[in-house]
Amino acid sequence: MFPTLPADHALLLLLNQEWRAPVLDLLLPVFSLRSLLFAILSVLLVWRFKKRGRSQTVYFMLLVLTMGATDLACNKIKHAVGRLRPENAVGGTYYMESEKWLRLPADMAPDRERGTSFPSAHAANSAALAFMAAMLWPRVRKGIVALPLLVGWSRIYLGKHYPVDILGGWLLGLLMGWLCWQLWQAAAQHWRLQLLAEPDE
């Protein structure tokens, strides 16, 4: 059983049960949609395609491959750890089902033995995307940092993860993003490709 530290539990209760508002109920689920990440990828691609031409397609492929590798690594860890999600273990947790908000009974007991809570794949993928996009396009660095923060918050708000799951996902995503960036730089230099990070404009 994955241990839940008191601070981890307390922060979960704060972000999932106490800091709630109707506007957050509407907005935060959007940041848990995987399609949002691909929408951001598409916007980045169109923007840079107009600016730099077809070579930007390679960047898009690089981002997708980075996220794919991150997702694969995350799933391997998830199944090895087997931590239960808050929506399966913590009484009073708010969660969404069929686009409706529900709440677990305060006295509920864990309804399964294993789960896939640690680390958060959403947090990992968003961190990997943010890291790689920031390295490829320095101009987006200030804005793109908000993406993993909002994604992580949304996963706690929806009862899918504990804060430690989010932190673990961020760290994994940054690690995978850094590794993929190093591989990309090495490959570009080996084949003498003119596709390294662009200067800040």
Q: Give every residue of the chain whose pLDDT is below 50, as ranges.
A: 196-197, 199-201
DSSP annotation of 138: G
- For residues 162 and 164, give the distance between their C-alpha atoms in angstroms, rounded to a whole number: 5
- Write down the pTM of the prediction: 0.90
Question: CA 156 → CA 8, 151, 181, distances in Å?
Answer: 11, 9, 29
Whether residue 148 contacts residue 31, with contact meaning beta carbons closer than 8 Å, is answered with: no
SS3 115: coil
**119 cis-preceded (ω within 30 degrees of 0):** yes
DSSP annotation of 190: H
pLDDT of amino acid 158: 97
- For residues 166 and 162, give the distance between their C-alpha atoms in angstroms, rounded to a whole number: 7
pLDDT of amino acid 180: 94
Domains in the chain and their CATH numbers? 6-190 (1.20.144)
pLDDT of amino acid 49: 73
Question: Tokens 């662009």 map to which residue?
Answer: 198
SS3 102: strand
DSSP annotation of 199: P
Contact partners, residue 192, CB within 8 Å, separation at least 6: none
Strands 100-103 and 94-97: antiparallel
pLDDT 10s digits, 85-136: 999 999 999 999 988 999 999 998 888 888 999 999 999 999 999 999 899 8
pLDDT of amino acid 196: 46
